[in-house]
A and B are shown apart, each in its own frame.
Chain A
């Protein structure tokens, strides 16, 4: 009979939640900087198309934020229930970083994000743009702290291992870890690639239903630029920091995942090359491109999600069997649970994640088809 080890199941359950969160954090990260760019462009040119793009994508941003906050709590709970001894050992590093990240998220969401999402038109435009800028900085700060933790897990420095736990002796070595720059580039590039394909995909889907508005055409072009930039950054970080960030290609167990990433990137490059050929050449409008290309673009809408999950797996499983590289093995911090318990809880998580993903997608397309309906909260305004 087919048997699966509880440790493996626990790893996959945790990675499932982490991967799910990563996808929405990626959308959040890229979209907040794009929204800032849109607002600045609107201020500079005064053209309404920029703010038209802003109105749709701020909705996507708001939904991604809701999902990210909601999924963070189960992830923390999973960390505690599956690897209780881990946080006991690395609390000196993880505790302050996680605390700071949550407090930053708290302040950022309550002050700046509320201003950004619910106060447009009620406060001065420059204050609103300021709140978008602060939200972008806040989101980046939170991601930076989490990447600092991941980098430290990958290559511990600035700490000492005692009998029972790990003690920090140099915080600067942790928060200015040498891997953070590469990781930040990778996350920003992956997020841009993911959002770029979402933007192109939804415009391509819209053009097959009806003629595009000026804002929707603009969204497509912005998506294309983001995807191109994201691809360049992604390839750069994979080429130059592959050994630092990912499972080695030579690792037999992970070679198929590497090939899946390469295949996906290949298809993305092909679609982007064809789009560049048509859009940068004679026909500068998605509506005038061949139907097959429009179809491909719509099919590829969520390809960035898959790329993030696959590269996330290559990065997450790099340290195995260690969780803190060469210092703490995953096996020694695992709380032994039965296979049935883990299967049952994984199924429960899966059902909720599927519900969230399907609903997010449904709302994404509904807003693309019928336009964004303003949300009325007691705070007022629209998101």
Chain B
């Protein structure tokens, strides 16, 4: 850190240096929380077409968190815009269609859930389908964005195809998250539905793992700087075990899924392991990109508007963050519990 500060000609105690870092850390925390907490919600929605008569039950399970989950994306977008407007301008200008997909998806999804609650008969069925469609659009859009990030926004057709492939794998990853959450939430006592969730999880786990590794591989091979960062003697000792750890966690999840129905504790473990995988992946992504937001183009410090704006936002965060964390603790307190 001191080295980096010196390189920028700043002291590590200088707000110009640490404020963008603090904001970036808060933003990554927001992304991680959104990926997990809105992620299982998205994942369950993706499984709806396969749930048959259990559809209503699955949508009902999401009820306690829907109000809060629909805010994650909005918070993320506005926060990113406020702290890193220059990176925002660059990223949004090169991601037109993925962003349109996310916009349409999030709108359909939020509307469909609420309208579904207030409908009956064929309309209820229609809104359930829309809830699935919106979720699929949103996940495909997010996967597309991730794919474009991995290939450093290169525009050639081959890269776009790769980004679309990543998007499909991200669908599998979200579905896996949703299925594992269901396995945990339903518990061993709710046999048939839990068995279905285990089956979905086993079908998606390999595709999800493939997607994650494809993103990591693309990240390294499309960006020379990141590749060198990984293979340096000092960092290889962290990067390689990190990759192996993620791989073994996926293998462990697959093994545990065979025994998940035996006890509630075993049913809970795969979901926890996947959270660890997501945490590691987000941390790895942040580490690889650091200190850039757009690789080799815009660093954290290039992307801010002014320190005065950041100061205002940091003060705001200092007030709001504790309240939010207490509230999240209260609302999400029973997310890991078995449904009673």
Residues of chain A whose beta carbon lies under 8 Å from any beta carbon of chain B:
59, 62-63, 66-67, 69-74, 76-78, 80-81, 84-85, 87-88, 91-92, 94-96, 98-100, 102-103, 106-107, 109-111, 114, 165, 167-168, 335, 337, 341, 345, 348-349, 352, 356, 359, 363, 373, 375-379
Contacts and interface: CB of A to CB of B under 8 A. Distances in A.
A69 B99 CA distance: 17
Interface stretch (B14-22, B114-122, B244-252, B258-266): B114-122
Interface of B: 60, 63-64, 66-68, 70-71, 73-75, 77-79, 81-83, 85-86, 88-93, 95-96, 99-100, 102-104, 106-108, 110-111, 114-115, 117-120, 305-306, 308-309, 312-313, 316, 320, 323-324, 327, 331
A278 B91 CA distance: 60
Contact of A81 (B68, B93, B104, B308): B93
Q: Which of A91, A95, A114, A375 has the most CB of B within 10 A?
A: A95
B285 to A, nearest CB: 21
Nearest to A362: B123
Contacts of B115: 63, 66, 359, 363
Q: In terms of DSSP, what is the predominant structure of the interface of chain A?
A: helix
Q: Which 6 A-B pairs have the closest CB atoms?
A: A95-B82, A80-B92, A91-B85, A378-B63, A74-B103, A378-B64
A351 B100 CA distance: 13
Given A66-B114, A359-B115, A373-B118, A95 B106 contact: no
8 contacts: A69-B71, A84-B90, A91-B81, A96-B312, A98-B81, A168-B308, A335-B93, A352-B108
Contact of A87 (B74, B85, B119, B306): B85
Nearest to A353: B107
A183 B103 CA distance: 29
B309 A106 contact: no
Nearest to B95: A81
A165 B305 contact: yes
Given A88-B89, A167-B306, 9 more contacts: A73-B77, A76-B81, A84-B90, A88-B86, A99-B79, A100-B316, A106-B71, A352-B104, A376-B117
Nearest to B126: A359
Contacts of A378: 60, 63-64
Contacts of B308: 92, 167-168
B96 A102 contact: no
A272 B29 CA distance: 54
Contact of B85 (A59, A88, A356, A377): A88
B104 A348 contact: yes
Contact of B100 (A81, A102, A377): A81
A308 B106 CA distance: 25
Nearest to B319: A103
B74 A73 contact: yes
Contact of A71 (B77, B107, B316): B107
